[in-house]
Chains A and B, each alone.
Chain A
Amino acid sequence: MPLTASVIDDLKKVAGRDNVITAPNDLRIFERDGSIEGAVPDAIALPSNTEQVAAVIKIAARHNIPIVPRGAGTGLSGGAVTIRGGIALQMTRMRRILEIDPVGQTALVEPGVVNQELSLAAAPHHLFYAPDPSSQKACTIGGNAAENSGGPHCLYYGVTTNHVLGMEVVLADGSVHWVSGDAADRIGLDLCGVLVGSEGTLCAITKIKVRLLRIPPSIATLLAAFPSIDTASQAVSAVIGRGIVPAALEMMDKVTVGAVEAHYHAGYPTDAGAVLLVEVDGVADSTRELMAAIRDVLSENQGYAMREAQTPAERDLLWAGRKGAIGALGRIKPNYYLHDGVVPRSKLPQVLSAVGEIGVHYKLPVANVFHAGDGNLHPNILFDLRDREVLQQVEEAGEEMLHAVVELGGALSGEHGIGLEKSAYMPWIFSPDDLEVMSRVKSALDPTGLLNPGKIFPDPERKKLPLAGRTGFAVEAKWW
């Protein structure tokens, strides 16, 4: 519902005339994030500080207007899509690094700070910020905290919540709070733990205090080819089964490698059935030893053409290829649809063969690129949004793949969040009682349901629209 002139005036008074966008055609440019579903917001507000965030939320609360916090819009589960309209709270102007404490090894940042910028700023102190989503060149720390994002190196270092020490947040009534603080052990009720990963449904995040780590003195990165996805997954299980936890352990299948190599020319073997990218870090002696052990396990499992990065530049290139992989899939088909289900690592070979069969059944190409060490799948179903006929199959195939994950004892998401795309599947893994507890937490913090409505929690009132009716782009989706 369009906002009234007086609400728009109020927003402009608190955020500044130029920092509120209401031109209908411009709003359409904000309808999507990194996923394919879309809905047009009624306004965009770009706050510059906590006070403005609080003031905008108070206005929204007064008029019962939904609020959806948004970072760079690189999310992959539709978390930033304004499906009930309302105000998108765009945090990208709050991008100051407020403090880096090299002794305490912490940083205090605003939510719009780009993930990689923090590591760049910390580098002169020989420190880095560990969680490294593949979109780290563009995604924001605020978005990472809201989604509890992962990344290749989270296998060893843990996901975002393991690195957030405390946050300043604004609740649905516009009140400002600090949760937790400096210590890794969060004293009292761990509210920070509840809010990290709440996907914008419980609060807007305005400051984040994070842990920084020493840059390891020695890093070794190995690329290994395998005849098939199956053999590569066996190798992953074998490495982990041997008690080795590398810093990162990533897999890409043949389709993905072809697309990646076309842009990055990183030297990935395009004839292999699958490749693994393995990294270990620590002191030089231990990385050498670990890497030797890993090489042995990989060769026992049909690994070949193994190549270690000889220079930091070579390593960066290998990682650039892996981290740009999902974008590179655009070289094959213009759109992807994926659920980032996660399975116990021992089930990797089984789930990947199920994924392959589903792709064949629906006659849809599937590209696999994922955090193998975590058992965290990213089966990208490739299609062309311009071909509306195929969308039904795309959605069904995605659902079946996720179902296969759950059947094998897995979970709905490893790192992308539930958002919009997976909320309907929540009852697959949570009982009504489980969901009831969650919704009580939600009601306690956001009694009127103002913050990011329609996300995470299954909503029985939501219309069951076919995917073709939800993809934005000239489709005026009617979600309710």
Chain B
Amino acid sequence: MKPFERLSDDDLATCVHCGLCLDACPTFRVTGLETESPRGRIYLMTQWKREQLPFNEEQVKHIDLCLGCRTCEAVCPSGVPYGRIIEAGRAEVERLRRPNAKRRIAKAALRQLVARPRRLRAFGAVTRVAQATRATSAMRSGRQLPPLHAPFEVPAGRLAPAIGPRKHRVAFLVGCVMPILYPQSHYAAVKLLQLASCDVWFPEGERCCGALHAHNGDLDEAERLRDENMRMYASGEFDALVVDSAGCGSHLKDFYPGLQGRVKDLSEWLAEVGLPEPKREVKMRVTYQDACHLAHAQRIKKQPRDLIRAVPGVELVEMRHPDICCGAAGLYSTLEPQMSARILAEKLDDLAATRAEMVVTANPGCQMQLASGLRQRGSHIAVEHISELLVRAFL
């Protein structure tokens, strides 16, 4: 089936052309162009789908430049399902466009590397060596990487038991790049779950959830990964599948109907089941950057802030536009480096204005983008996953 055939004309017609989404769109804010706005992109895709405008290679850039942050979707009073529309639009573009070396490499890397945990770990190990010899700093994407350490290790017996009374059993998404890039965020998340009376189960044979594939127009591979993962999730019992990466959580909620209602973001779940009394103070001025796929795709903004505020000693200061994308957006910072850098520059200004010591977020892509931007500016603001900040109160 052609990707556009999966999309109903009603989904597109829901856009009333009111324009309330325009200034919520990071690329519109930077360019001021209707063609780089959600309303313009929907207008373009609608005309493509209805064959009122021929597919045109020059216009592909408008689709490429969409971050997929879905801020527009959250502010749209009419309920336009933008996430669904742009995923189909990207897949259609990938079907029709002239071969593009960069995107082909990205697609191959996603299929051959990211979707295969063993190869990915080997790649991580090689990268670690390369970092030790500073070979990675020769490439832009290499400079963006955090210093890599030993990857996340699943505990013995694939189970981390609850600390204290056991009230819940959760599955935990280890995922693809997160255990290699940010093992410490995972360790902190698991510790928090144990403290919140959860047995944490790590299903065997889990693959990448397919979010990166779907967001980059490879719906076929995303479906294959989903079907494999669903077989594995069906093999065990759990109250919730807890995810500490916003992009994955949003994809699992939208794309895995079989998990209906059981996918929970870490902060969503912790707010629901509650953490014990904190053990110690964490004296720090902190600001929170909404991860787009948490704030907009999952509409979760309150829970992470409530959890941060509950840490004694932490002072939470809001930056200007905390819910506007930082320009990371999965592979975007690699595929569209110029636009990504323009969006990041504004974000870094807003961050600096808060005079915070630390910026906290909830997605590996955001962590990497913010940290690399701050490093380049010589800033001392630390970047942590929300799990790392929260766990400090219990160490």
Contacts and interface: CB of A to CB of B under 8 A. Distances in A.
A28 B33 contact: no
A138 B23 contact: yes
B20 interface: yes
28 contacts: A21-B33, A21-B35, A25-B54, A25-B56, A25-B58, A26-B59, A30-B34, A33-B19, A74-B19, A92-B33, A135-B18, A135-B20, A138-B19, A138-B20, A138-B24, A139-B19, A263-B79, A264-B77, A324-B20, A327-B78, A328-B77, A330-B14, A330-B77, A334-B10, A334-B15, A334-B16, A473-B47, A474-B52
Given A46-B33, A95-B32, A384-B13, A327 B52 contact: no
Contacts of A260: 77
B24 to A, nearest CB: 7
A36 B43 CA distance: 13
Contacts of A324: 20, 77
Interface string B292-326: 00000000000000000000000000001000000
Nearest to A114: B23
Contacts of A335: 16
B373 interface: no
Interface in A380-415: 384-386
Contacts of B359: none
Given A72-B23, A137-B20, A330 B78 contact: yes
A467 to B, nearest CB: 15
Given A137-B75, A473-B47, A34 B18 contact: yes
Contact of A92 (B15, B21, B32): B32
Contacts of A328: 77-79
B14 A334 contact: yes
Contacts of B320: 120
B23 A93 contact: no
Nearest to B40: A29
Contact of B52 (A29, A73, A326, A473): A473
A135 B19 contact: yes
B53 A93 contact: no
B34 A474 contact: no
In order of increasing CB-CB distance, the 8 nearest A-B pairs are A330-B78, A92-B32, A324-B77, A327-B77, A328-B77, A74-B19, A474-B52, A330-B16
A277 interface: no
A327 to B, nearest CB: 4
Contact of B32 (A29, A90, A116, A259): A90
A380 to B, nearest CB: 10
Given A26-B59, A137-B20, A386 B32 contact: no
Interface band, chain A = 35 or more
B375 interface: no
A32 B39 CA distance: 11
B44 interface: yes
Given A72-B19, A73-B34, 13 more contacts: A29-B40, A30-B40, A44-B33, A92-B28, A137-B75, A262-B79, A325-B77, A326-B18, A327-B77, A330-B78, A331-B14, A334-B10, A334-B15
Interface in A244-286: 259-260, 262-264
Contacts of A379: none
B22 interface: yes
B166 interface: no
A233 to B, nearest CB: 25
Given A137-B23, A473-B52, A263 B77 contact: yes
A268 to B, nearest CB: 13
Nearest to A70: B34
A474 B47 contact: yes
B316 to A, nearest CB: 16
B181 interface: no
A330 B79 contact: yes
Interface of B: 9-10, 13-24, 28, 31-35, 40, 43-44, 47, 50, 52-54, 56, 58-59, 75-80, 320
Nearest to A328: B77
Nearest to B302: A313
Contacts of B24: 137-138
B53 A25 contact: yes
Interface in A153-197: none
Nearest to A46: B32
B394 to A, nearest CB: 30
Contacts of A384: 13
Most buried by A among B13, B44, B78: B78
A310 B59 CA distance: 48
A23 interface: yes
A138 B79 contact: no
B80 A74 contact: no
B355 to A, nearest CB: 14
Interface in A131-147: 135, 137-139
B350 to A, nearest CB: 12
A154 B40 CA distance: 31
B278 to A, nearest CB: 25
A93 B301 CA distance: 30
B46 to A, nearest CB: 8
Contacts of A264: 77
Contacts of B79: 262-263, 328, 330-331
B266 to A, nearest CB: 24
Contacts of A23: 58-59
A329 interface: yes
A34 B43 contact: no
Contacts of B56: 25
A260 to B, nearest CB: 7
Contacts of B78: 263, 327-331
A419 interface: no
Nearest to B25: A138
A370 interface: no
Interface in A316-366: 324-331, 334-336
B330 to A, nearest CB: 25
Interface string A439-480: 000000000000000000000000000000000011000000
Contacts of B31: 93
Given A263-B79, A325-B77, A474-B47, A29 B35 contact: yes
A21 B80 CA distance: 28
Nearest to A334: B13
A100 to B, nearest CB: 14
B299 to A, nearest CB: 10
A155 B285 CA distance: 42
A373 interface: no
A112 interface: yes
Contacts of B13: 334, 384-386
Nearest to B32: A92
A112 B19 CA distance: 15
A211 B394 CA distance: 51
A117 B22 CA distance: 13
A90 to B, nearest CB: 6
A141 to B, nearest CB: 12
A336 B16 contact: yes
B318 to A, nearest CB: 12
Contact of B21 (A21, A116, A138, A329): A138
Most buried by A among B28, B33, B80: B33
Given A23-B58, A120-B320, A29 B34 contact: yes
A143 B370 CA distance: 35
A138 B190 CA distance: 41
A328 B16 CA distance: 9
Contact of B22 (A28, A46, A138, A262): A138
Interface string A90-132: 1011010000000000000000101011001000000000000
A43 to B, nearest CB: 13
Contacts of A28: 47, 53
Contacts of A474: 47, 50, 52-53
